[in-house]
Chains A and B, each alone.
Chain A
Amino acid sequence: DTGVSQDPRHKITKRGQNVTFRCDPISEHNRLYWYRQTLGQGPEFLTYFQNEAQLEKSRLLSDRFSAERPKGSFSTLEIQRTEQGDSAMYLCASSLEAGSTGELFFGEGSRLTVL
């Protein structure tokens, strides 16, 4: 399957712990996005990469959130010192460059529950 894959699908952690999510985009896509989705809301943009460059990170929710895409392929999203308010679905998406229609291809998400 060559779709976007995310791991883990579900993560339960205790408040104060660090968590890391991984996203493997569609291989020929050079843009990779992270969104957060809470219950009853639409996806909320967090950050995105064009190849390995992180071009927008001002929308990351706090300095506890960080993302990397070291070789321009897979990406990780880390949340340090988790809080209960971090509980949400974290969605990864990939796309071709901005000159295209901009269609995003989403993974199935990583659901985080902070106890």
Chain B
Amino acid sequence: GEDVEQSLFLSVREGDSSVINCTYTDSSSTYLYWYKQEPGAGLQLLTYIFSNMDMKQDQRLTVLLNKKDKHLSLRIADTQTGDSAIYFCAERALRGSYIPTFGRGTSLIVHP
């Protein structure tokens, strides 16, 4: 969706950290999400952050939210080959009747 933008590809070496970035346009966003899609599967929620938070950490995942710049990032520490997938940023905003709007997805490739 044009309201949520992500870079399309990221390649990292196993064991390194991955940082996937996202920008959104709607300042009324309440929740922002990261979903993961593995080949042939549906999307699965990885983590989310409420708009009054700046950071959320969940095991290897760290989400940073900069509301001023409307920028969201997902950091995956100690990236593993099993993390290879497409990662979608999504926002839920008042303007969109609280229906989640997704970005195009970032394809993360983890190589040995």
Residues of A whose CB lies within 8 Å of any CB of B are: 4, 33, 35, 40-45, 48, 55-56, 91, 93, 98, 101-109
B46 to A: closest C-beta gap in Å: 11
Q: How far is the CA of A80 from the CA of B105 in the complex (A)?
A: 29
* Chain B residue, CB-CB nearest to A100: B31
Task: Please pick, from B44, B50, B99, B105, the residue contacting A33 in the complex, using a CB distance under 8 A.
Answer: B99
* B104 and A40 contacting across the interface, CB-CB below 8 Å: yes
Q: B42's contact among A4, A44, A56, by CB below 8 Å, is which?
A: A4
Nearest-neighbor residue (CB-CB) of A99 within chain B: B98
Of the listed residues B1, B88, B99, B100, the one surrounded by the most CB atoms of chain A closer than 10 A to its CB is: B99
**Given A91-B43, A108-B41: A101 and B101 within 8 A (CB)?**
no
Q: Name the one of A41, A55, A102, A109 contacting B100, with C-beta atoms under 8 angstroms.
A: A102
Which of B30, B43, B48, B100 has its CB near the most chain A CB atoms (within 10 A)? B43
Chain A, Cβ-Cβ closest to B101: A45
B42 touches A91 (CB 8 A): yes
Q: How far is the CB of B87 from chain A (nearest CB, A)?
A: 10
A103 engages B99 (CB within 8 Å): no
For residue B30, which residues in chain A have a CB less than 8 angstroms away from its CB? 102
Query: Do the beta carbons of B99 and A42 come within 8 Å of each other?
Result: no
Given A33-B99, A43-B88; A102-B31 close (CB under 8 Å)? yes
Asked if B48 and A103 sit within 8 Å, CB to CB, the answer is yes
When C-beta atoms are compared, the residue in chain B nearest to A107 turns out to be B42
Give the most central of B42, B44, B105: most A CB within 10 Å.
B42
| Residue in B40, B45, B104 whose CB lies within 8 Å of A104 | B45
**Nearest CB of A to B10, in Å:** 15
Contact with A along B92-108 (1 / 0, CB 8 A): 10000111111111000
Asked whether B104 lies within 8 Å of A42 as measured between CB atoms, the reply is yes
A-B contact pairs, 7 of them (CB 8 A): A40-B104, A43-B43, A93-B43, A98-B98, A103-B45, A103-B48, A104-B45
